[in-house]
Amino acid sequence: HGRLEKCPSYTSDDFTGITWLVGIIDPQSADIRLEIVENRASMTMVELFKKYIHEGTTIMTDGFRSYPSAMASINGVHKIVNHSNGFKSLEGYHTNNIEFMVFIKI
């Protein structure tokens, strides 16, 4: 029984009572995977990435600190969108497809 936070960009797992919902979406097929996780530690993300993401896939993320090791575990290409600089990277990458999931009531 956690609480829903409106801001998904927390950089710490130190908040109590928060349920983390991690979302993965394939922008071509719109196939969505949502999973509740206890934390966003590297090992948690490694397990999740190996479960849902094909090796060598290019992934766009907000650059959370546990993602680089998860990306390395699947030999993926990691494109980071720094939301402090805008909703799109200079190369045109974005996370808008999954960010929209905030509006879905579960």
- pLDDT digit string, tens, across residues 39-54: 889 999 999 999 999 9
pLDDT digit string, tens, across residues 54-86: 999 988 888 888 989 999 999 999 888 877 777
Question: What is the full DSSP assignment across 16-76?
Answer: TTBPEEEEEE-TTT--EEEEEES---HHHHHHHHHHHS-TT-EEEE---TTHHHHHHHTT-
pLDDT band at residue 91 using 50, 70 and 90 as cut-offs:
confident
Mean pLDDT for the stretch of residues 4-13: 53
> So where are the chain's domains?
20-103
